[in-house]
Amino acid sequence: MGGARRGGLLVPHVLGVLLILSEAGGGQWASASAASAPPGCAPWCPRNSVCVNATACRCHPGFSSWSGEIITSPADSCDDINECGPPLAASCGKFADCQNVDGSYYCTCSPGYGLVSGATMFRNESENTCQDVDECSSRQHPCHNSTACINTVGSYRCRCRRGWTPLPGFRDNQNTTVCEEMSFPTWTLPPGIQSQRLSGFFKRVQDLRRRFTPASAQDTVQDLIQSVDELLKAPGDLETLALPDRHHTVTHLLSGLEEVLRTLAKAVPGGSFTYQSPAGTELSLVIQEQGHGNVTLGQSHARMLLDWAVAAGAAGSGPAVAGILSNPNMQKLLANASLELDPERQAELEETHESPLYGVQLSLLSAVNSVFLSNTNTTKLDHKVTFAFSHSPEKPGTRQELICAFWKGADDGGGHWATSGCRTLGSRNNSTTCQCSHLSSFAVLMAHYDVEDELLALITTVGLALSLVCLLLCILTFLLVRPIQGSRTTLHLHLCICLFVGSAIFLAGIDNQGGEVGLRCRLVAGLLHYCFLAAFCWMALEGLELYFLVVRVFQGQGLRTRWLCLLGYGVPLLIVAISAAANKQGYGRPRYCWLDLRGGFLWSFLGPVIAIILGNAVIFVTTVWKLTRKFSEINPDVKKLKKLRVLTITAVAQLFVLGCTWVFGLFMFDPRSWMLSYVFSVLNCLQGLFLFVLHCLLNKKVREEYRKWACMVTGNKYSEFTTSTSVSSQSQTRALRSSESGI
């Protein structure tokens, strides 16, 4: 088309020169005729006009003046009308351009088009027969001999031949493209990694690079994949590398493989290529011209659905490449890799499990699927890509899920699994479907979320077990030791029974293993609600009894046993019954069999607890104050050390027995407050031990009974001094049984 185009451009210039010459001759003729014109003609008519009469002139066709067609002033002039410009643009039709000349216009075909007749110009749209000119078949193109000419509508482009790439500074598919023969990309040993096995692999890579020719691209790809399989099946000293170095090696291998395969794929003949190595690694390639629409690519390990425009990219040129390399042999190098969860997903998990996420344990279920395209800018795609990854059969358990993750290289050369930009759509028939907004090396992982502090869980388990043993000893002591029988012992007995039952249920059933809130979980939550409320009620009754014994001593004997039992067990039963009737769905949570945090249902427990703690706090302060006064009145000569000792023992007894340690739990608004969590767990799990020490080991009468039982078991004779002391203690107990405090 180049020669025809140049000829077409010369014609307008020739016509323009002829028109100017003719107009100059016409002007001379007009001047001569004006000089010899009859007296009735105006002698001042301008160029490109004709005389009408003695006072007016008319512009020639194709010309006009600012005052209109008729000129009546010598200052007017006749100027050319641009028929190709608005508002009176002439229509030349499709693939044609309008060319203006003085007094007229003509049409020519647009560059890359020509008239069927071979003419170079026409007058109007009805004469338009412009059609595309094939510059390639007519050899009217300047493409370099390293490229192939491809005709396009209205033009042409020069594309590198298969196995060739543009020279630096040139782009493919341009009219000026110049290419050179493709070479194997440079791929060397990662810096800082000392491994004989890896060094041997890269020696084989260099051999492939030296022997590479574009014609042997397909064989080179197969040999490269087999070399990678040999390395991964027997990694040798790679397994002994430090974890960061091992993951650095993985990052280097994956990124290098993608780059090499992306380059060599452009030299592979045919539109597609699939290869499966003896070790099970599979490669699928699709090479085709740029276009739009969805394309499906895959093999037995992975399938991919993407818009073909994504493969080429915004500035793509030449055939586009899309490929998936699925390698099932990377488990050894990827062992103990960490996972970086998307922040939004981590927040969702912490909200679901009602606990901070302490860690994630990973299991690799699928092959590592490296996805590569001609488009290298795949960190944020305009159109999301859908994947389906096959994996070994695995059913997620408690706090487990199947996730799609990708290998993310770190700035220091290492790497880890990550999930940002990827969303797991679902799993069935041993296949997991994911959707991602970027490309990398993907795999399906089984993630087990550690939402429990293992140290805190161990402390809780050991503490509760010890507490149960101590509470059982307390119960047996309060039942069998006759010298301490009394109203205070009855309170201690029922308090220990409630704590023992509640702690046993807590230890055995607090965790909701299935994650579903069923009848079992609701029943456990209801029993825990009742037992702990009952324990608090007995704590309140013990505080009330302490008030009667210390503050109102000699003024009353306290409540009777039947009233104590009615209040201690009836009040919590009433609270639980009302709570269950109002909202039975409030019992049970996905992780724990306890009261639901939503809707304020937890206040059915917190409300009574706060009231009891505040009441016990008032009783505690009042008791200490009264004790201080009574010690001063009754024993004015008692040494200060003894007063401090008695006050300290009383304060400690009140603090732990009356439940003031639960104050720490009331301030645990955030589960991440690990300090409060540890303090609360330690103090409350050891509450049974505290009760055993305060009410049994620190009680002289109980210690004497323990010695008596020990002698009976071992067969030793009990001493007279000990016996007389015990008898004396029993006599004192009968006299003061109703007011015995047990301290």
Q: pLDDT tens digits, residue range 634-684? A: 555 454 435 444 544 654 565 565 566 666 655 554 555 667 777 777 877
User: Poorest-confidence range of 22-36, 546-560, 715-729?
Assistant: 22-36
CA 360 centroid distance within chain: 14
- In this predicted structure, what is the pLDDT of residue 267? 86
Residue that is written with structure tokens 């430090």 in the block: 242
Residue 147 has pLDDT above 60, yes or no: yes
What is the number of helices (H) and of strands (E) in the chain? 17, 27
pLDDT single digits (tens) 494-535: 989 999 999 999 888 888 876 678 888 999 999 999 999 999
479 token code pair: 């039942």
Query: Residue 605's closest CA among 525, 549, 677, 680?
Result: 525
d(CA 231, CA 257): 13
Backbone angles phi, psi at 174, to 5 degrees: -115, 165
User: Poorest-confidence range of 259-273, 470-484, 625-639?
Assistant: 625-639
pLDDT class of 329 with cuts at 50, 70, 90 = very high
162 token code pair: 């298969």
Residue 11 has pLDDT above 90, yes or no: no
- In this predicted structure, what is the pLDDT of residue 203? 95
Query: Residue 405's closest CA among 339, 450, 361?
Result: 339
Determine contact, residues 129/163, Cβ cutoff 8 Å. Answer: no
pLDDT class of 738 with cuts at 50, 70, 90 = very low
Determine contact, residues 442/369, Cβ cutoff 8 Å. Answer: yes
Residue that is written with structure tokens 């015990």 in the block: 726
Residue that is written with structure tokens 């490449």 in the block: 321
Residue 355 has pLDDT above 80, yes or no: no
Backbone angles phi, psi at 631, to 5 degrees: -65, -35
What would the mean pLDDT of 568-597 be, rounded to a whole number? 89
d(CA 302, CA 388): 6
What would the mean pLDDT of 205-211 be, rounded to a whole number? 94
The residue ranking higher by pLDDT, 249 or 175, is 249
- In this predicted structure, what is the pLDDT of residue 589? 83
Q: Across all residues in the chain, what is the average pLDDT?
A: 80
d(CA 92, CA 94): 7
The residue ranking higher by pLDDT, 351 or 518, is 518
User: Mapping DSSP to helix (H, G, I), strand (E, B) and coil, where does residue 725 land?
Assistant: helix
The residue ranking higher by pLDDT, 8 or 144, is 144
Residue 716 has pLDDT above 80, yes or no: no
- In this predicted structure, what is the pLDDT of residue 146? 87
Contacts of 321 (CB under 8 A, 6+ apart): 262, 265, 266, 285, 286, 287, 311, 372, 373, 374
Beta strands at 415-418 and 339-340: parallel, antiparallel or unpaired: parallel
- In this predicted structure, what is the pLDDT of residue 405? 94
d(CA 475, CA 547): 24
Contacts of 304 (CB under 8 A, 6+ apart): 296, 297, 298, 322, 324, 371, 385, 386, 387
What's the Cα-to-Cα distance from 417 to each of 247, 254, 340, 351, rounded to whole Å?
10, 13, 6, 22
Residue 321 has pLDDT above 60, yes or no: yes
Residue 22 has pLDDT above 50, yes or no: no
Query: Residue 507's closest CA among 530, 524, 526?
Result: 524
- In this predicted structure, what is the pLDDT of residue 358? 77
What would the mean pLDDT of 260-279 be, rounded to a whole number? 88
User: Poorest-confidence range of 140-149, 236-245, 714-723?
Assistant: 714-723
Residue 198 has pLDDT above 90, yes or no: yes
User: Mapping DSSP to helix (H, G, I), strand (E, B) and coil, where does residue 240 land?
Assistant: helix
What would the mean pLDDT of 376-381 be, rounded to a whole number? 86
Neighbouring C-beta atoms of residue 219, cutoff 10 Å: 13
- In this predicted structure, what is the pLDDT of residue 492? 84
420 token code pair: 């940002």
- In this predicted structure, what is the pLDDT of residue 323? 92
Query: Residue 142's closest CA among 154, 162, 157?
Result: 157
User: Mapping DSSP to helix (H, G, I), strand (E, B) and coil, where does residue 716 land?
Assistant: coil
Contacts of 441 (CB under 8 A, 6+ apart): 254, 258, 368, 369, 370, 371, 406, 407
User: Mapping DSSP to helix (H, G, I), strand (E, B) and coil, where does residue 265 land?
Assistant: helix
Residue that is written with structure tokens 């405090």 in the block: 741
Percent of the chain predicted with pLDDT > 70: 80
The reply to whether omega before 185 is within 30° of 0 (cis) is: no
Residue that is written with structure tokens 């702690």 in the block: 503
3-state secondary structure 134-194: CCCCCCCCCCCCCEEEEEECCEEEEEECCCEEECCCCCCCECCCCEEECCCCCCCCCCCCC
Residue 316 has pLDDT above 60, yes or no: no
User: Poorest-confidence range of 223-227, 341-345, 663-667?
Assistant: 663-667
Contacts of 464 (CB under 8 A, 6+ apart): 503, 506, 507, 685
118 token code pair: 């071979």
pLDDT class of 160 with cuts at 50, 70, 90 = confident
- In this predicted structure, what is the pLDDT of residue 651? 47
pLDDT single digits (tens) 61-87: 888 888 888 888 888 899 888 888 877
Residue 607 has pLDDT above 80, yes or no: yes
Percent of the chain predicted with pLDDT > 90: 30
Selection from 5-14, 167-176, 726-735 with the highest mean pLDDT: 167-176
What would the mean pLDDT of 714-723 be, rounded to a whole number? 58
- In this predicted structure, what is the pLDDT of residue 24? 38
- In this predicted structure, what is the pLDDT of residue 672? 58
- In this predicted structure, what is the pLDDT of residue 551? 62
Residue 416 has pLDDT above 60, yes or no: yes
Q: Hey, which residues does 276 pair with through a beta bridge?
A: 282
d(CA 645, CA 634): 16
pLDDT class of 33 with cuts at 50, 70, 90 = very low
pLDDT single digits (tens) 417-451: 999 999 999 998 999 999 999 999 999 998 888 76
Please name the helix (run of DSSP H) or strand (run of DSSP E) that holds residue 287, with its range, or none. Answer: strand 282-288
Residue 721 has pLDDT above 60, yes or no: no
d(CA 699, CA 179): 99
Determine contact, residues 112/93, Cβ cutoff 8 Å. Answer: no
The residue ranking higher by pLDDT, 461 or 317, is 461
> Nearest 5°: CA angle at 89, between 88 and 93?
140
pLDDT class of 253 with cuts at 50, 70, 90 = very high
Amino acid at 466: L
Determine contact, residues 185/210, Cβ cutoff 8 Å. Answer: no
Residue 199 has pLDDT above 60, yes or no: yes
pLDDT class of 232 with cuts at 50, 70, 90 = very high
pLDDT single digits (tens) 458-481: 888 898 899 999 999 999 999 998
